[in-house]
Amino acid sequence: MASSVNPSLESEVRVDVTAIEKSLAELWRSNKEGGDDEALTRAALWNVVAHTSSDDHRTNASEVLGKASAAVPQRTIIVRSDPAGEADIASWISANCHPVGGGKQVCSEEITIVAGGDRIHRVPPLVNALLIPDMPVAVWWIGDLPNEHEAYVESLLDPADRLIVDSVHFDSPADLALLSRVAEETTTAPADLNWVRLEEWRAATASIFDPPHMRARLQSIRRVRVVSGASDESFFGESIESLLFASWISAQVDHHVDATGKVESSSGSVDYAFERRRQSTDVGGITYVEVGFEDGSVASIARDRDRGVLTANVDGNISSPESVTRAASQKLDELIVRQLKRTDVDRVLLKVLPIATRLARRITR
Amino acid sequence: MSVAAPPPALAANPLREGLEQERVPDASALVIFGASGDLTQRKLIPALYSLAHDGLLPAGQTIIGFARPDFTDEAFRLAMRESCDKFARTRPVDEAVWENFAKGLFYVQGEFAEHEAYIRLNQKLQDCDKTRGTGGRRIYYLAVPPQFFPTISELLGKEKMVTDPEQGGPFTRVIIEKPFGHDLKSAKELNKVAVTTFRERQVFRIDHYLGKETVQNLLVLRFANGIFEPFWNRQYIDHVQITVAESIGVEKRGGYFEGAGITRDIIQNHLLQLVSLISMEPPVAFEADAVRDEKVKVLRALREFKVGQETENAVRGQYSDGSVLGEKAIAYRKEENVNPESRVDTFAAMKIFVDNWRWADVPFYIRAGKRLPKRVTDISIHFRPAPYPLWRKVPSVRMQPNVLAFRIQPDEGISLKFDSKVPGPSVKTAPVTMEFRYATSFGAEPPEAYERLLLETMLGDSTLFARRDEVETAWAWLDPLLDNWGADPRPPDFYPAGTWGPESADALIEKDGRKWRRP
């Protein structure tokens, strides 16, 4: 939970499932009677529904969204659903309050619903009723991806404008394909926290091609090499950041990726290579990228962990001043904030997902 | 200057699609004339650093300070680092970003009228084209008093340091700071000088108000929302009030202010920009000339003042001894470099009209002043009352007009006041306010106005800059009033520092049965 500027609001109170809205209204009314009304503002730009399947995930989601609500005020609904658990449903309310200066604070509401056994089917309609009207809805799915054809999942996702997942936990290319299908077959836009992690690499790479003389070189890319960190266990999710990066380049410069993962540009084949280096921290994260051109020149982007930046250089027949991109925070709450601050559908990700599914063949072979 | 022909027009960088930094300009050399001054240190370099911090500057972006003091590049970098440490929005300064940013900072020593200095500057610029990829692209920022503009402009022209894409060269742009003249005559002279060296589209007249998020939001609120347009006219709006209040006095600018006054310093530019944005017609596109065409139409429609012995609908004031925010404040006439018998206005209030179909006979009450109780810029739209007083026989119902208020600074936001029934068995009403606050909804601190305006200049978008005809039309409207006040031997109406202006300002609005809104 966020900084405890208003303990009476922030402590979790168990409430009757059938009277959550009424209990929330009472919470604010009692606060007003306490004389704090002028100093306190309720705000919401999003409805965020976090779907969890364990108590640890539930606690973690509450912490992350509590922090995130300082930057993006939201009505947070945390669902802990356990089909194998005892048939029961219970709910709690609290508020996440953050000071905004001048002795004022902004509060966002948090509702927790815990359901087990056959009672889990009561959750989607309950969540639906608790959504603030006219505000967009994001469902953050924590844990294994759902079976998209289950009635429970369908009804939970029905009001969602956005489905947020973290592909670092994906098991196979089928998970990427599922995300792609969500985009194609529903009105819910997929969003991936791993894609947000990649933003600094995209910005650093883009900076190489900002100078007019470099922009013309996008068509002469012949080689893309992506190096990432790998753990001893080596699982598919570790490779996805690299995969999304490579797919992004290919999508934006019109390379064609066939069903076998072979890549062609208008002037011939392009070599996409993925390298994984064992390391104990930042598993899955990209550490180095090289882009080779027709004339032998090479652009490289490297993470300088000590200085907290990514540096981009070009060597060979051409040169450009070094470009420095600040590495962004990779904390989960800040990734969520960056995701929610995007107000429109991420069309680039939609282009990238099907390509990543095909390019994944180069990794899983 | 030898400049290669520009490459054929290239598409935007496709790798920028969807990134937060979607628009990054081509690297250029930005020369700041007057680089040892306050504006450079407090605003320009901190703004440029913050742009670099946010990844909005291209690799190779180069900044060259030009001023009289003898600095080396390294000494200039050190001084600018101190400025960023004190004034940058994004603090503490990020060492890695600074290190890279500082590589593009250079200094050329020279007098504004020294021909040799321009030769040195030109050499430095050409070196940067080779080493930093600036490609002959130039932006000259004149952070200097207007009297130096003709000299700088002429010498830049003489050294052939100005090129134009329409004539096959890379771009050159020039940024001019206000004041854009002292009156219509001097503004025309300045503009004439500008167009001998530059074309109008190369001239970026900076009014930092237009770089403020809330000012830009006026256009978004009006033209991105369907609900406002139907009642944004004389049928529904009773009057408009605009207040630009500063709590500070003239500080060390007494010498400058003696030659200007609040009307020239604030009303001619910032305040008339706000009037234009509130009352303009929808532009055909959100493009520089389309937006500015509509703003100029508003300025052309401003009703002329009837000037005579007493100027109708305008009052001027000057602060006397008082206190502001609990601190003693001395009278304007006792400030440094101020004539003890000065008749300069430190406050002005006016009732003005936009004589067109939409706004006929709707008064705009505007006021600006120094040493007022607090620093605030506020625009309020006061709507006409409901057409029929349904509860006229119920004494507990006092219907009050709806007010839509824009807080430009500080605590930026928008509020709407309307009447509501007080819960209970009887009919009682009370005004309630629906509020939107930037800080509450968006959390993050908005970029500084100079960041936005510098970036727009680099991108070549002049929408947020004043055009020549805007400046001249504003002066043409104000000149008769200023002439009249200048010729009037009487002092302005005095008001104690820390109050909302002289009594005559209250009388100006109260004679119409209205009151200034307390911002």
Of B156, B372, B123, B422, nearest in space to B249 by CA:
B372
A299 beta partners: A291, A314
CA-CA distances (angstroms) from residue A205 to A201, A293, B387?
Answer: 6, 14, 61
Of A9, A73, A132, nearest in space to B437 by CA:
A73
Chain A partners of B27 at a C-beta cutoff of 8 Å?
Answer: 210-211, 321
Q: What is residue A293's predicted lDDT score, i.e. its pLDDT?
A: 93
Which amino acid, residue A290? E
CA-CA distances (angstroms) from residue A204 to A201, A213, A245, B384?
Answer: 5, 17, 12, 54
Can you tell me the distance from the alpha carbon of A129 to that of B1, in angstroms, rounded to the nearest whole number? 69
In B93-236, beta strands by DSSP E:
105-109, 138-142, 172-177, 203-206
* ipTM confidence score: 0.90
Instruction: Please give the helix or strand (H or E) that residue A98 lies within, else none.
Output: strand A88-101
Q: How far A323 CA sits from the closest chain B CA (Å)?
A: 5
Of B453, B463, B459, B454, nearest in space to B12 by CA:
B459
Angle at CA of residue B21, ends B18 and B26, nearest 5°: 115
**Count of CB atoms situated within 10 Å of the CB of A35:** 8
Q: What is the pLDDT tens value at each position of chain B, 519 positions in all? A: 333 444 445 578 999 999 988 888 999 999 999 999 989 999 999 999 999 999 999 999 999 999 999 999 999 999 999 999 999 998 899 999 999 999 999 999 999 999 999 999 999 999 999 999 999 999 999 999 888 999 999 999 999 999 988 888 899 999 998 888 899 999 999 899 888 899 999 999 999 888 888 888 889 999 999 999 899 999 999 999 999 999 999 888 888 899 889 999 999 999 999 999 999 999 999 889 999 999 999 999 999 988 776 678 999 999 999 998 888 999 999 999 999 999 999 999 999 999 999 999 999 999 999 999 999 999 999 999 988 888 888 877 777 889 999 998 887 889 999 888 888 888 888 888 888 887 777 776 778 899 999 999 999 999 999 999 999 999 999 999 999 999 989 999 999 999 999 999 999 999 999 999 988
Q: What is residue A3's predicted lDDT score, i.e. its pLDDT?
A: 39
- Is B104 in Cβ contact with A43 (below 8 Å)? no
Q: What is residue A4's predicted lDDT score, i.e. its pLDDT?
A: 41
CB contact at 8 A, B272 and B368: no
Can you tell me the distance from the alpha carbon of A180 to that of A168, in angstroms, rounded to the nearest whole number? 16
- Which of the residues B3, B10, B15, B49 would you substitute to probe the A interface, choosing the one with the greatest number of A C-beta atoms within 10 Å? B15
pLDDT at A32 > cutoff 80? no
Q: CA B75: distance to chain centroid?
A: 31
- Is A347 in Cβ contact with B18 (below 8 Å)? yes
Q: How many residues does chain B have?
A: 519
- Is B59 in Cβ contact with A73 (below 8 Å)? no
Contacts of B74 (CB under 8 A, 6+ apart): none
Overall average pLDDT of the A211-217 stretch: 87
Chain A CA closest to residue B17: A348
Q: What is the pLDDT of residues B249-280, one digit of tens each?
A: 988 888 889 988 999 999 999 999 999 999 99
**Count of CB atoms situated within 10 Å of the CB of B361:** 10
Long-range contacts at B473-478 (CB < 8 A, ≥ 24 apart): B473/B296, B473/B299, B473/B300, B474/B268, B474/B269, B474/B272, B474/B299, B475/B181, B475/B183, B475/B184, B475/B187, B475/B268, B476/B184, B477/B299, B477/B302, B477/B304, B478/B263, B478/B264, B478/B267, B478/B268
> What percentage of chain B exceeds 70 in pLDDT?
97
Q: How far A86 CA sits from the closest chain B CA (Å)?
A: 40
**Count of CB atoms situated within 10 Å of the CB of A182:** 19
Which amino acid, residue A357? T
- Is A218 in Cβ contact with B440 (below 8 Å)? no
Q: How far A228 CA sits from the closest chain B CA (Å)?
A: 21
Q: Kindly report which listed range (A28-32, A171-175, B177-181) carries the lowest average pLDDT score.
A: A28-32
A289's tokens: 């990228």
CB contact at 8 A, B208 and B238: no
Q: What is the pLDDT of residues A66-89, one digit of tens each?
A: 999 988 999 999 999 998 999 999
Can you tell me the distance from the alpha carbon of B379 to that of B373, in angstroms, rounded to the nearest whole number? 17
Q: What is residue B373's predicted lDDT score, i.e. its pLDDT?
A: 92
Q: Kindly report which listed range (A226-235, A258-267, A293-302, B203-212) carries the lowest average pLDDT score.
A: A226-235
Chain A CA closest to residue B59: A323
> Which residues 210-249 in chain A show a CB within 8 A of chain B?
210-213, 215-216, 218, 249
Contacts of A279 (CB under 8 A, 6+ apart): A229, A230, A287
> CA dihedral in degrees (B6, B10, B16, B17; nearest 10)?
160
Which amino acid, residue A59? T
- Is A199 in Cβ contact with B20 (below 8 Å)? yes
Q: How confident is residue A103, by pLDDT bands cut at 50, 70 and 90?
A: confident
Can you tell me the distance from the alpha carbon of A233 to that of A235, in angstroms, rounded to the nearest whole number? 6
Can you tell me the distance from the alpha carbon of A167 to that of A236, in angstroms, rounded to the nearest whole number? 10
Contacts of B314 (CB under 8 A, 6+ apart): B305, B348, B349, B350, B351, B481, B508
Q: What is residue B2's predicted lDDT score, i.e. its pLDDT?
A: 35
Overall average pLDDT of the A209-231 stretch: 90
Q: How many residues does chain A have?
A: 365
Q: Which of B60, B437, B444 sits opposite A211 (nearest CB)?
A: B60
User: Residue A268 class from Cβ within 10 Å (0-12 exposed, 13-18 middle, 19+ buried)?
Assistant: exposed
CA-CA distances (angstroms) from residue A82 to A117, B236, B253?
Answer: 6, 57, 70
Contacts of B187 (CB under 8 A, 6+ apart): B180, B181, B471, B472, B475
- Looking only at the bridges linking them, the beta strands covering A298-304 and A137-141 are unpaired
pTM to 2 decimals? 0.88
pLDDT at A5 > cutoff 50? no
Instruction: Please give the helix or strand (H or E) that residue B475 lies within, else none.
Output: helix B468-487
Which amino acid, residue A299? A
Whose structure tokens read 């004022």?
Answer: A104
Of A143, A86, A108, A138, nearest in space to A24 by CA:
A108
Q: What is residue B74's predicted lDDT score, i.e. its pLDDT?
A: 96
Mean pLDDT (chain A) is 88
B147's tokens: 């009297």
B98 φ/ψ angles, rounded to the nearest 5 degrees: -60, -45
B123 φ/ψ angles, rounded to the nearest 5 degrees: -65, -45
Q: What is residue A117's predicted lDDT score, i.e. its pLDDT?
A: 92
What is the set of active-site residues of B? 270
CB contact at 8 A, A224 and A290: yes
SS3 content of chain B, % helix, strand, coil (to 5): 35, 20, 40
CB contact at 8 A, B88 and B50: yes
Q: How far B442 CA sits from the closest chain A CA (Å)?
A: 6
- Is A312 in Cβ contact with B100 (below 8 Å)? no
In B302-385, beta strands by DSSP E:
314-320, 322-324, 327-329, 347-353, 363-369, 376-383
How many angstroms separate the most distant Cα atoms in chain A? 74
Q: What is residue A319's predicted lDDT score, i.e. its pLDDT?
A: 67
B257's tokens: 């202010």
